[in-house]
Structure formats: C-alpha cells, structure tokens
Structure 1
Amino acid sequence: MITPTPLMRLVAGVWGFKTLAVAVELGLFTRLAGGRTVTVDEAAAEFGLAERPADMLLAACASLGLLEKAGAGYRNSDLAEQFLVEGAPYYFGAQVRYSDLRTYLPWHRIGEALRTDRPLTWDPQAQDSMFDTADPAMLAQFWDAMYSTSSFTARALADAYDFGGHERLLDVGGGAAAFPIELCRRLPHLSATVLDLPHVCARAEDRIAEAGLGGRVGTVAGDFLTDPQLPGGHDAILLSMILHDWDEPTNRALLAKCHAALPAGGVVVVCELLLNDERTGPPEAALMGMNMLVETEGGRNYSGAEYAAWLADAGFVDVRTVPFDAPGANGAVVGRRA
C-alpha cells in the first residue's frame, strides 16, 4: 500500500540537517572525541542547556547515526569520530557550517529562484561572481567547506582512477589545493599546480605549506574563464566540481582550452556529481543542480553522457566514466588527447 510516509521523510529532512548543524555549532562531537561519553545531565551542564533540550539533542543525534548509546551515556559514532571532530584529516564540519550559514536561508526562497532564474546568495548586478565578495569571513567559510568536501573526494578519486601514469597535474579552479595535496601524498612521483584567483592561491599556499608539499605543489594565479589559455607543461588536467558552476557554452570553451594545453596522450579528468543519462537521479546530483539555481547564474548538474559528448567534440578520445562514491562527486569522466 502506498502511504505518505516517504513525503514525511522529506519534510523531516531539514530537521535532521539542523540537528547536525547545531551539534557542530556547539562542538558536541569535538568534545566527545577519543571515546568520551556523556550523560544527559553532563551534557546539559557542559553546554548550558536545560535537561529537556539536552536529552532531545542527544537522542536525535543518536537516531541519525551520529552518536551511540553507551549505558546511560552517549559517545561519538564512528562516522562522527572520523568526520565531525575538528582537526580530523577529513573534517566535514566546515561544510556543515557553510551550508547552514550561507545557503540554508536562501533555499527558503527557492520559488523566487525558479521564477527569476537568478541566484539567491549573491547579486549579479553588484558582483562579478559568487566568489567576488567583500566579506572575508564568508570566503574563509566557503574555502574551508570546499576543502573538507574535496579532501575525501580526492581520496575516492585516487582509488578509482590511476594517476600513476601521470607526472604533472594541473588542477583548474583548484581552490585550497585539497586534490593536489591528497594525490601527491599518495604518489611520490607526482607534482601539481593549482590555477585559481590570486586570493585563492594565497589560501592554497598556506595549505600546501601545512602539508609539507611546497616543493611539489605550486600555484599559478589566473582566471580560467577569461585567460586565453591554460598553463602548459602538464600531462593531466583536473576539473573537479568546476563545470557544474557554469553553462554549456562556458564549459565547452574551457574544455577546448584543456585540449589545447595538453600534450598528446594527456588526459582531462572531469570529477562531478553526475546525473544519470535519463536525468532522473541520483538525488545527490539532481539536488546539487537545484543548489546551482540558488548559487549560480548558469550552473547545473550534467550527466556523464553530456560531458562525454562535449569531450568528444573538443577532440578527446577514449572517453570513459569512472564511478565512485564521495561527498563531492560520484564519478569522473576521463578523456585523452590523441
């Protein structure tokens, strides 16, 4: 029998996210790091809460798989311990905080975005792009969020696609260098370059220095949209979570630049949340497409077949899709320059 229960789960989806967001805001999982357990009364005292909300918060986090019950107390689940403890290698809390502070409220006006086909998180009449802002705190939140998502996605990509045959990687729009750092840690022979805006390169250089990879990962300041060509000297070009920000003509132009910058045998790797060819899912890709309506002027999520067609039109051969599972992408479409 069909029931409205699946619809109620959709209604309650926002409750789950806001429970996660407030727990991250309170630092709950960081305080429980290392196997620490707290009772309801202890949590109430520690976080300055009454007994009733403390009990509800812990129970809700347990129901979401973020905490586990241990006798009369609660402790981090493996998921929370690995990804929600501040300072962990693949800390995901920055993505939670950015989404809560930057995109959650604009999503309440999604009907406006549908009717106007205009972004809600920035003003195209006053700013050149979503990355153009006078608010340094917001920019820091954005790049921290992207780094937390990209680090684990890079690891998943490295498991799915063998970069061992490449020597120099160009990460176009590489942000704070999460992908080059992860890949160069894994592959001692690989070196990499991040191409991004000047203020983003400065942030990438800090991350690169922290990782101790200053001799192998560098940066080049530029604008991949307006620069007439991409830096040469690389045998692999990565476009990770980039093309969903832009419309088809912009993406085709960028792929043409990639083809021109690569030597024979070089590859381009398009890493994205890919829609299926019927454009009916998966939900992560389709809903990220809705988020592009909120955040961008022309962006949307595309299918693997669409990327494959664009790559072929740009002159790439042996185009194939490599699936994997990660928070920032579910696959990579790879093309080789003949």
Structure 2
Amino acid sequence: MSPSVGPVTLMELTSGVYAFKALAMATELDVFTELSNGGRTTTTTFADRHRIALRPAELLLTACTALGLLRRDAEGFYSNTQMSEEYLVRGRPYYFGDWVMVVDRHEYPAYLKLADSLRGNHPATWDVELQESLFDPAVAEYFWEGMYSLSANTARLLADAFDFRAINRLLDVGGGGAAFGIELCRRYFDLQVTVFDLPFVCDLTRPRIARAGLEGRIGLAGGDFFADTLPTGHDALLLSNILHDWDEADVLRIIRVCADAIPPGGRLLICESFVADDKAGPPLAALMSFNMLVETWGRNYTAAEYSTWLSEAGLHPEGVTAFEGPGANGVLIARKP
C-alpha cells in the first residue's frame, strides 16, 4: 500500500482541528506579539505570565513549534519564526491573526451544526430567521477586521498579477474595509478607487482609509448592489471575494448590474478562489467552497461557470491569471465591447 494511501493520511486530515486550535489559542493569548522583535520565553516564564500550569504551557509551546510557528533553541527558549513575526504579531501591516479569530469564533462553532446545514441547505454562522444576511451589523465586532486580514494579503498578489497602470478609476464593488483599494493605491500611484458597499460598512471603512492617508484617492459610495445603480465614470470594476457568497441566480444578477456600469472598452475583474472546471480541486478553493455551506447560500465557482455568466451579461471573458493567495487563487478579466 502506498504511504500516501492509508490511515496516516487520514490521521493527518483528522488532526487539522488540533493544529488550528493550537494556532487559535496562541493567537488569542497574543503569544507571537509577546515574542516580537527578538523576544524569547521559557515554558516557566510563559506559564507564569499567563497564569497556567506548566503542563498545558509546554503542550501549547511544543505544538506551535512543531507547526513552524515558534522555534526552540538548545537552552529551551522559544521565539518567533519568520512567518509568525511577519504575519502573527499584532500591529504588523499584514497581521493575519484577525482572520484566525474569525474562523475560531465565527466559523468553528458553526461546524458543530454542520449536519443541520447539510440536510437543511442553510447557513449556521448567523440566524437566518432574524438577520437578512451574513453581512449584518451584528457581526461587525470582529468579522470585518478578519476580512481585512484575508483581503490585504490577497490584494498584494492581485497587484502583482494584473497591471493596473492602464486604469485611472476603479470601482471596488462590495469592497468594504478598502483592503484592495489601499493595497492597489499603494502600488499604483495614479489610481483612484471608489469603494461601493452598504452604508454601515462604509462607516466602518472610513477610519481605515484615513489611517492609510488615502482619503484623497479612495472614496466611499453607500448602497446595495441588489437595489441601487452602481456609480459610473470608472474604467474598471472589481469584484473581490464577493460572488462566492451568493447563489447562481444572484451571481448573474450582480454581474449584470456591474456590466451596466462599465463603459465600452472597460473591464470587470473577478478575484476569487476558482474551483477547477473538472471540480477536482484545488483543495483550498474546494474547502472554502464547502465552508460556504455554513456561511451563505453560495459556493466557489469555476472559471467556466463565470465565463458563461459574463457572456450572458454581454461581456467578453479574457481568461484567468492565476496566483496563490490566502483569499483567492486568481483573477478573471472580462471586457465590455
């Protein structure tokens, strides 16, 4: 029997929950922030600082070391690895801990009700009887910070994958948080961006744009793309991690609304985790698609499916430029004739 086919492989899949909860616990305790800038700790010091016994302290530190989140030297001191120092220290530009907390507090509990979502075909991370959608002010406390973590790291890759120098004005549809707008404006100095999102999301986004010093280049337009006409006067429109939240009929509806707002010769950019056309992967896109079972009524779609809908909306698909990001694996470009 091949080593890749058997109970060890299944055990590795099963132990994913152990790995995630070790990361989440260490993130919640701010372990990596405590050890930033060359900080070190022993098991005893760590236990004393967090008022826990030596045994759980050692188990957590050992797990984080095995996962490549910490390193342990010959004297028994623990310190951050390069990955943790860059992405898990609070306050760093591309801090990823907020997304870890979203998964831990928002998504992880929903998986205890996964069977209900599977059999009932409805989300579990929010109350479908009391809330209109996942994008409700009730989840604003930590959800939007987490989404920014995911989006900012993805936006940097989009800036590399697509040349925005030919675009003067970009409309970021559903771009609340302005992660894509901020990263793209930092890379392309002549780019002007308008973020279109729900009014309460615009209110949450305004301070972040100000902190980035980009009030003169990133504007906000409040509205609902299911009810309102999109602002015009933009060379291109961006849909970044928006369409996977909706079912097929709504995806086509959103694409049509966007197509109406694009000028002749303008482009629509769809930045998503595309499932392969044969539905065989890739794993991260397929698993994030599965995650929509507890989150929304959507899923991750294939490039072929998007191309069909784009054509129905009168746009010409020009193919996908692939990249490997935490929140997307490529960008599909379509042009309006």
TM-score, reference length from structure 2: 0.97
Q: What amino acid maps onto 1:220 in structure 2?
A: A
Measure, in 1, the Cα distance between the counterparts of 2:275 and 2:285.
6
Structure 2 residue aligned with 1:139:
140
Structure 1 residue aligned with 2:129:
125
Q: What amino acid maps onto 1:131 in structure 2?
A: F
* Contact persistence 1:173–1:195 (CA under 8 A): yes
Q: What amino acid maps onto 2:247 in structure 1?
A: D
Whether 1:20 aligns to 2:19 is: no
Measure, in 1, the Cα distance between the counterparts of 2:334 and 2:101.
35
Q: What amino acid maps onto 2:288 in structure 1?
A: M
Measure, in 2, the Cα distance between the counterparts of 1:226 and 1:114.
30
Q: What amino acid maps onto 2:63 in structure 1?
A: A
SS in structure 2 opposite 1:140?
A: coil
The CA deviation at 1:124 is: 2.0
Task: Mark the runs of 5 or more structure 2 residues left unpaired by the alignment.
Answer: none
> What CA deviation, in whole Å up to 9, does each residue of 1:129-188 have, x standing for no partner?
11224x3xx313010001011001000011111111100010101011000011011111
Structure 1 residue aligned with 2:283:
283
Structure 2 residue aligned with 1:167:
168
Measure, in 1, the Cα distance between the counterparts of 2:11 and 2:294.
24
Q: What amino acid maps onto 1:33 in structure 2?
A: S
4+ residue runs over 3 A deviation: none
> What CA deviation, in whole Å up to 9, does each residue of 1:258-314 have, x standing for no partner?
111111221111011110011111111111112111011x21110111112211221
* Contact persistence 1:35–1:75 (CA under 8 A): yes
The CA deviation at 1:123 is: 2.1
Task: Mark the runs of 5 or more structure 1 residues left unpaired by the alignment.
Answer: none
Structure 1 vs Structure 2: percent identity of aligned residues? 49
* Contact persistence 1:170–1:193 (CA under 8 A): yes
CA RMSD of aligned residues (A): 1.1
Structure 2 residue aligned with 1:300:
299
Structure 2 residue aligned with 1:88:
92
The CA deviation at 1:318 is: 4.7
Structure 2 residue aligned with 1:223:
224
Whether 1:334 aligns to 2:333 is: yes
- 1:9/1:319 CA distance change after superposition, 3 Å: same
The CA deviation at 1:13 is: 0.3
The CA deviation at 1:118 is: 1.0
Measure, in 2, the Cα distance between the counterparts of 1:40 and 1:156.
38
The CA deviation at 1:215 is: 0.5
Structure 1 residue aligned with 2:236:
236
Whether 1:101 aligns to 2:92 is: no
Measure, in 1, the Cα distance between the counterparts of 2:232 and 2:309.
21
Measure, in 2, the Cα distance between the counterparts of 1:304 and 1:234.
24
Measure, in 2, the Cα distance between the counterparts of 1:56 and 1:112.
34
> What CA deviation, in whole Å up to 9, does each residue of 1:33-83 have, x standing for no partner?
011111111111122121111111111001111011222211111111111
